[in-house]
Structure 1
Amino acid sequence: MTHPKTPHVVDARYMGPPEPFVRTMEMLDTLQPGEKMLLLLFREPHPLYRVLRQNGHAFESELLPDGTFEILISR
């Protein structure tokens, strides 16, 4: 899947836990400094936000009309 915001996308809308978290952390490990990834979910991942903050990652969350949360995460 490609996206205009970044080529690094985890579409976790239909994944069960803990797969979205695992896939997100795996992709973050592959990013170079300054690169971004996009996580797509149907729920807001408050536990993930805590982990991202603790590890120094910036992120922006946007709720789309279809109920998808787009979380853009910076390395």
Structure 2
Amino acid sequence: MNMPIVDARGLEPPEPFEHAMEALANLQAGEQFTLLLDRMPHPLLRLLERDGYRHDVSFRDDGCVAILIGRP
């Protein structure tokens, strides 16, 4: 099974946050997805921390922020 990718690059706020929230709402226990963004989403990271989602931030060579997000 391929892991879903939510590509929110090139979108203006609050669209990237809205796309991430939609993907989170559809995430089942044990599932994960990758979120691609142009910048570090500090409000989203605070929400993920608060709500107990697993997440791992990495920076791609093209300057994109990639966040692997999983529901425990």
Per the alignment, residue 25 of structure 1 pairs with 21
Coordinate RMSD, CA, aligned: 1.0
**Displacement, 1:35?**
0.3
The answer to whether structure 1 residue 43 and structure 2 residue 39 are counterparts is yes
Per the alignment, residue 53 of structure 2 pairs with 57
SS in 2 for 1:21: helix
Cα distance between partner residues in 2 of 1:32 and 1:47: 22
- Among all aligned residue pairs of Structure 1 and Structure 2, give the percentage whose two residues are the same amino acid: 47
Match of 2:5 among 9, 17, 27: 9
SS in 2 for 1:14: coil
- Count of aligned pairs between the two proteins: 70
CA deviation digits over 1:3-43, x for unaligned, max 9? x6x1x211011111001111111111111100001100111
Give TM-score scaled by structure 2 length: 0.91
Gaps of 5+ in 2: none
Runs in 1 of length 4+ with deviation above 2 angstroms? none
Cα distance between partner residues in 1 of 2:46 and 2:6: 19
Cα distance between partner residues in 2 of 1:11 and 1:62: 15
